[in-house]
Structure 1
Protein backbone atom coordinates (compact mmCIF):
# COMPACT_ATOMS: atom_id res chain seq x y z
CA UNK A 1 0.00 0.00 0.00
CA UNK A 2 1.21 3.52 -0.77
CA UNK A 3 2.64 5.27 2.28
CA UNK A 4 0.96 8.62 1.78
CA UNK A 5 -2.08 10.63 2.70
CA UNK A 6 -3.95 12.23 -0.21
CA UNK A 7 -7.20 13.43 1.29
CA UNK A 8 -8.68 14.27 4.69
CA UNK A 9 -12.47 14.56 4.62
CA UNK A 10 -14.06 16.35 7.56
CA UNK A 11 -17.71 15.64 8.28
CA UNK A 12 -19.36 18.95 9.16
CA UNK A 13 -22.73 19.74 10.70
CA UNK A 14 -23.17 23.09 8.92
CA UNK A 15 -21.53 23.38 5.50
CA UNK A 16 -21.92 27.15 5.19
CA UNK A 17 -20.40 27.75 8.62
CA UNK A 18 -17.50 25.37 7.94
CA UNK A 19 -16.75 26.84 4.49
CA UNK A 20 -16.91 30.36 5.91
CA UNK A 21 -14.53 29.40 8.72
CA UNK A 22 -11.87 27.98 6.38
CA UNK A 23 -12.19 30.80 3.86
CA UNK A 24 -11.85 33.29 6.76
CA UNK A 25 -8.51 31.61 7.47
CA UNK A 26 -7.49 32.51 3.93
CA UNK A 27 -8.08 29.08 2.39
CA UNK A 28 -9.36 29.21 -1.19
CA UNK A 29 -11.90 26.58 -2.29
CA UNK A 30 -10.93 24.63 -5.39
CA UNK A 31 -13.24 23.23 -8.06
CA UNK A 32 -15.82 21.15 -6.18
CA UNK A 33 -19.06 19.33 -6.95
CA UNK A 34 -22.28 20.37 -5.25
CA UNK A 35 -22.52 19.71 -1.48
CA UNK A 36 -18.77 19.29 -0.91
CA UNK A 37 -15.92 21.78 -0.69
CA UNK A 38 -12.34 20.89 -1.68
CA UNK A 39 -9.25 22.85 -0.65
CA UNK A 40 -5.92 22.17 -2.36
CA UNK A 41 -3.42 22.06 0.53
CA UNK A 42 0.04 21.62 -0.92
CA UNK A 43 0.22 18.10 -2.35
CA UNK A 44 -2.99 16.89 -0.75
CA UNK A 45 -6.65 17.86 -0.43
CA UNK A 46 -8.88 18.72 2.54
CA UNK A 47 -12.61 18.23 1.94
CA UNK A 48 -15.69 19.41 3.84
CA UNK A 49 -18.77 17.21 3.49
CA UNK A 50 -22.02 17.00 5.44
CA UNK A 51 -21.35 14.66 8.37
CA UNK A 52 -24.25 12.24 7.86
CA UNK A 53 -23.59 11.96 4.10
CA UNK A 54 -19.95 11.12 4.89
CA UNK A 55 -21.04 8.48 7.40
CA UNK A 56 -23.43 6.82 4.93
CA UNK A 57 -20.85 6.92 2.13
CA UNK A 58 -18.25 5.34 4.43
CA UNK A 59 -20.48 2.49 5.61
CA UNK A 60 -20.78 3.85 9.16
CA UNK A 61 -23.99 3.06 11.05
CA UNK A 62 -24.36 6.13 13.25
CA UNK A 63 -27.63 4.81 14.67
CA UNK A 64 -25.98 1.79 16.28
CA UNK A 65 -23.15 2.19 18.77
CA UNK A 66 -21.53 -1.21 19.19
CA UNK A 67 -17.99 -2.45 19.53
CA UNK A 68 -18.59 -4.52 16.37
CA UNK A 69 -18.98 -1.44 14.15
CA UNK A 70 -15.77 0.62 13.96
CA UNK A 71 -16.35 4.27 14.59
CA UNK A 72 -20.11 3.82 14.91
CA UNK A 73 -22.64 5.77 16.94
CA UNK A 74 -21.80 8.94 18.81
CA UNK A 75 -18.16 7.88 18.95
CA UNK A 76 -17.68 8.29 15.21
CA UNK A 77 -15.20 11.10 14.77
CA UNK A 78 -16.55 12.38 11.45
CA UNK A 79 -13.22 12.03 9.64
CA UNK A 80 -12.06 9.83 6.78
CA UNK A 81 -8.44 9.60 5.65
CA UNK A 82 -7.92 8.96 1.96
CA UNK A 83 -5.31 7.56 -0.37
CA UNK A 84 -5.89 8.47 -4.01
CA UNK A 85 -4.31 6.26 -6.64
CA UNK A 86 -4.03 6.52 -10.44
CA UNK A 87 -6.39 3.62 -11.37
CA UNK A 88 -9.28 1.44 -10.23
CA UNK A 89 -6.99 -1.59 -10.49
CA UNK A 90 -4.66 0.03 -7.94
CA UNK A 91 -7.63 0.58 -5.62
CA UNK A 92 -8.32 -3.16 -5.77
CA UNK A 93 -4.65 -4.06 -5.19
CA UNK A 94 -4.17 -1.73 -2.24
CA UNK A 95 -7.54 -2.60 -0.73
CA UNK A 96 -6.65 -6.30 -0.87
CA UNK A 97 -3.35 -5.53 0.90
CA UNK A 98 -5.23 -3.68 3.65
CA UNK A 99 -7.72 -6.52 4.08
CA UNK A 100 -4.88 -9.07 4.20
CA UNK A 101 -3.21 -6.98 6.90
CA UNK A 102 -6.33 -7.19 9.07
CA UNK A 103 -8.40 -4.16 8.05
CA UNK A 104 -12.15 -4.43 8.56
CA UNK A 105 -13.98 -3.93 5.27
CA UNK A 106 -16.73 -1.30 5.57
CA UNK A 107 -17.44 -0.88 1.83
CA UNK A 108 -15.79 -3.02 -0.82
CA UNK A 109 -14.33 -1.14 -3.80
CA UNK A 110 -17.00 -0.24 -6.34
CA UNK A 111 -17.95 2.42 -8.86
CA UNK A 112 -19.20 5.50 -7.06
CA UNK A 113 -21.99 7.98 -7.85
CA UNK A 114 -19.43 10.78 -8.36
CA UNK A 115 -17.73 8.95 -11.22
CA UNK A 116 -14.80 7.34 -9.45
CA UNK A 117 -14.04 4.02 -7.80
CA UNK A 118 -13.31 3.46 -4.10
CA UNK A 119 -13.50 1.23 -1.05
CA UNK A 120 -13.53 1.97 2.69
CA UNK A 121 -12.00 0.08 5.60
CA UNK A 122 -11.10 0.64 9.24
CA UNK A 123 -7.75 -0.04 10.85
CA UNK A 124 -7.52 -2.07 14.10
CA UNK A 125 -8.21 1.07 16.16
CA UNK A 126 -11.31 2.05 14.17
CA UNK A 127 -9.74 4.83 12.06
CA UNK A 128 -11.59 5.04 8.74
CA UNK A 129 -9.64 4.98 5.46
CA UNK A 130 -10.78 5.24 1.85
CA UNK A 131 -8.71 4.13 -1.12
CA UNK A 132 -9.98 5.88 -4.23
CA UNK A 133 -9.42 6.53 -7.89
CA UNK A 134 -10.88 9.88 -8.94
CA UNK A 135 -10.68 10.19 -12.75
CA UNK A 136 -11.04 13.98 -12.48
CA UNK A 137 -7.98 14.42 -10.23
CA UNK A 138 -4.34 13.72 -11.01
CA UNK A 139 -1.60 12.01 -9.02
CA UNK A 140 1.90 13.31 -9.67
CA UNK A 141 4.91 11.00 -9.94
CA UNK A 142 5.94 11.92 -6.39
CA UNK A 143 2.46 11.05 -5.03
CA UNK A 144 0.88 14.49 -4.73
CA UNK A 145 -2.88 14.70 -5.32
CA UNK A 146 -4.12 17.57 -7.50
CA UNK A 147 -7.71 18.77 -7.78
CA UNK A 148 -9.38 18.55 -11.16
CA UNK A 149 -12.26 20.49 -12.66
CA UNK A 150 -14.78 19.96 -9.84
CA UNK A 151 -16.72 16.99 -11.19
CA UNK A 152 -15.59 14.42 -8.65
Structure 2
Protein backbone atom coordinates (compact mmCIF):
# COMPACT_ATOMS: atom_id res chain seq x y z
CA UNK A 1 0.00 0.00 0.00
CA UNK A 2 1.30 3.43 -0.91
CA UNK A 3 0.68 5.75 2.07
CA UNK A 4 -1.47 8.42 0.50
CA UNK A 5 -4.54 10.54 1.04
CA UNK A 6 -5.71 11.44 -2.46
CA UNK A 7 -8.81 13.42 -1.56
CA UNK A 8 -10.40 15.09 1.40
CA UNK A 9 -14.10 15.38 0.65
CA UNK A 10 -16.23 17.82 2.58
CA UNK A 11 -19.95 17.13 2.77
CA UNK A 12 -21.49 20.57 2.25
CA UNK A 13 -25.01 21.87 2.76
CA UNK A 14 -24.88 24.31 -0.18
CA UNK A 15 -22.55 23.29 -3.03
CA UNK A 16 -22.69 26.67 -4.80
CA UNK A 17 -21.94 28.61 -1.62
CA UNK A 18 -19.03 26.28 -0.76
CA UNK A 19 -17.72 26.50 -4.34
CA UNK A 20 -17.73 30.31 -4.24
CA UNK A 21 -15.96 30.28 -0.86
CA UNK A 22 -13.08 28.07 -1.99
CA UNK A 23 -12.81 29.17 -5.64
CA UNK A 24 -13.59 32.87 -5.48
CA UNK A 25 -12.91 33.66 -1.84
CA UNK A 26 -9.73 31.63 -1.28
CA UNK A 27 -8.61 31.34 -4.90
CA UNK A 28 -8.34 27.52 -5.03
CA UNK A 29 -8.03 26.34 -8.67
CA UNK A 30 -11.31 24.53 -9.39
CA UNK A 31 -12.00 21.57 -11.66
CA UNK A 32 -15.72 21.40 -12.27
CA UNK A 33 -17.92 19.72 -14.84
CA UNK A 34 -21.24 21.42 -15.52
CA UNK A 35 -24.19 19.43 -14.23
CA UNK A 36 -22.19 17.33 -11.76
CA UNK A 37 -22.67 17.51 -8.00
CA UNK A 38 -18.96 17.44 -7.18
CA UNK A 39 -16.19 20.02 -7.38
CA UNK A 40 -12.47 19.26 -7.15
CA UNK A 41 -9.73 21.71 -6.20
CA UNK A 42 -6.00 21.43 -6.79
CA UNK A 43 -3.84 21.93 -3.75
CA UNK A 44 -0.21 21.04 -3.09
CA UNK A 45 -0.46 17.23 -3.05
CA UNK A 46 -3.83 16.19 -1.67
CA UNK A 47 -6.93 17.29 -3.55
CA UNK A 48 -10.00 18.84 -1.93
CA UNK A 49 -13.51 17.89 -3.07
CA UNK A 50 -16.92 19.33 -2.23
CA UNK A 51 -19.98 17.10 -2.45
CA UNK A 52 -23.51 17.51 -1.05
CA UNK A 53 -23.55 16.25 2.57
CA UNK A 54 -26.57 13.96 2.11
CA UNK A 55 -25.12 12.38 -1.03
CA UNK A 56 -21.76 11.83 0.68
CA UNK A 57 -23.48 10.14 3.62
CA UNK A 58 -25.47 7.99 1.20
CA UNK A 59 -22.34 7.03 -0.76
CA UNK A 60 -20.56 6.01 2.44
CA UNK A 61 -23.38 3.62 3.38
CA UNK A 62 -26.76 3.68 5.01
CA UNK A 63 -25.44 3.32 8.57
CA UNK A 64 -24.06 6.70 9.60
CA UNK A 65 -21.24 6.66 12.10
CA UNK A 66 -19.22 8.89 14.38
CA UNK A 67 -18.87 9.32 18.12
CA UNK A 68 -22.53 10.35 18.36
CA UNK A 69 -23.55 7.88 15.60
CA UNK A 70 -24.13 10.71 13.12
CA UNK A 71 -22.36 11.37 9.84
CA UNK A 72 -19.17 13.39 10.44
CA UNK A 73 -19.47 15.28 7.13
CA UNK A 74 -15.94 14.52 5.94
CA UNK A 75 -14.25 11.60 4.25
CA UNK A 76 -10.68 10.87 3.29
CA UNK A 77 -9.95 8.98 0.08
CA UNK A 78 -7.12 6.71 -0.95
CA UNK A 79 -7.19 6.35 -4.72
CA UNK A 80 -5.41 3.26 -5.99
CA UNK A 81 -3.53 2.49 -9.17
CA UNK A 82 -5.00 -1.04 -9.45
CA UNK A 83 -8.56 -2.26 -8.86
CA UNK A 84 -7.41 -5.21 -6.70
CA UNK A 85 -5.71 -2.79 -4.31
CA UNK A 86 -9.12 -1.55 -3.15
CA UNK A 87 -9.98 -4.93 -1.64
CA UNK A 88 -6.45 -5.39 -0.28
CA UNK A 89 -6.50 -2.06 1.54
CA UNK A 90 -9.99 -2.63 2.96
CA UNK A 91 -8.86 -6.01 4.35
CA UNK A 92 -5.74 -4.41 5.80
CA UNK A 93 -7.80 -1.67 7.48
CA UNK A 94 -10.16 -4.24 8.99
CA UNK A 95 -7.25 -6.36 10.26
CA UNK A 96 -5.80 -3.26 11.91
CA UNK A 97 -9.01 -2.63 13.87
CA UNK A 98 -11.02 -0.62 11.38
CA UNK A 99 -14.62 -1.41 10.45
CA UNK A 100 -15.81 -2.01 6.89
CA UNK A 101 -18.75 0.35 6.48
CA UNK A 102 -19.38 -0.28 2.80
CA UNK A 103 -17.76 -3.27 1.08
CA UNK A 104 -16.03 -2.59 -2.24
CA UNK A 105 -18.38 -2.53 -5.20
CA UNK A 106 -18.83 -0.97 -8.60
CA UNK A 107 -19.66 2.72 -8.13
CA UNK A 108 -22.26 4.80 -9.97
CA UNK A 109 -19.49 7.12 -11.23
CA UNK A 110 -17.71 4.35 -13.10
CA UNK A 111 -15.11 3.18 -10.61
CA UNK A 112 -14.84 0.64 -7.81
CA UNK A 113 -14.83 1.67 -4.16
CA UNK A 114 -15.59 0.84 -0.55
CA UNK A 115 -15.43 2.60 2.83
CA UNK A 116 -13.91 1.80 6.19
CA UNK A 117 -14.07 3.61 9.53
CA UNK A 118 -10.99 4.01 11.68
CA UNK A 119 -11.26 3.25 15.43
CA UNK A 120 -12.52 6.82 16.05
CA UNK A 121 -15.22 6.58 13.39
CA UNK A 122 -13.58 8.67 10.65
CA UNK A 123 -14.46 7.43 7.18
CA UNK A 124 -12.01 6.63 4.40
CA UNK A 125 -12.99 5.67 0.90
CA UNK A 126 -10.67 3.37 -1.01
CA UNK A 127 -11.33 3.79 -4.71
CA UNK A 128 -10.06 2.93 -8.17
CA UNK A 129 -11.02 4.08 -11.67
CA UNK A 130 -9.29 3.18 -14.90
CA UNK A 131 -9.49 6.81 -16.07
CA UNK A 132 -7.48 8.23 -13.14
CA UNK A 133 -3.91 9.37 -13.59
CA UNK A 134 -1.26 10.04 -10.95
CA UNK A 135 1.75 12.34 -11.06
CA UNK A 136 5.30 11.25 -10.14
CA UNK A 137 4.56 11.88 -6.43
CA UNK A 138 1.41 9.74 -6.46
CA UNK A 139 -0.99 12.71 -6.38
CA UNK A 140 -4.20 12.44 -8.38
CA UNK A 141 -4.03 14.47 -11.61
CA UNK A 142 -7.18 16.53 -12.12
CA UNK A 143 -6.55 17.96 -15.60
Q: TM-score when scaled to structure 2?
A: 0.89
Structure 1 distance, partners of 2:67, 2:112, is 23
Q: Which consecutive residues of structure 2, in runs of 5 or more, have no partner in the other structure?
A: none
Aligned counterparts of 2:120 and 2:62: Cα–Cα separation in 1? 15
Report Cα offsets for 1:104-130 as digits up to 9, x if no partner: 111101110000111101001101111
CA distance in 2, matches of 1:126, 1:86: 26
Figure out how many residues of one structure are paired with residues of the other and give that number. Answer: 141
Shift of residue 73, structure 1, vs aligned partner: 6.4
| Residue 122 (structure 1) aligns with | 117
Alignment of 1:144 with 2:134, yes or no, is: no
1:14 equivalent in structure 2: 14
Structure 1: runs of 5+ lacking an equivalent: 63-69
The partner residue of 1:35 within 37, 56, 67 is 37
Report if the CA contact (8 A) 1:136-1:147 is conserved: no
Cα distance between partner residues in 1 of 2:48 and 2:131: 16
Of 102, 106, 111, which residue of structure 1 is paired with 2:97?
102
1:84 equivalenced with 2:79 (yes/no): yes
Match for residue 113 of structure 1? 108
Change (3 A) 1:75 1:13: same
- Does 2:54 match 1:52? yes
User: Hey, what's the Cα distance between the residues in 1 that align with 2:59 and 2:126?
Assistant: 13
Computed over aligned residues only, the root mean square deviation of the Cα atoms, in angstroms, reads 1.9
1:57-92 deviation line (CA, Å, top 9, x unaligned):
001535xxxxxxx32767432000011111111111
Q: Which runs of 4+ in 1 moved over 6 A?
A: none
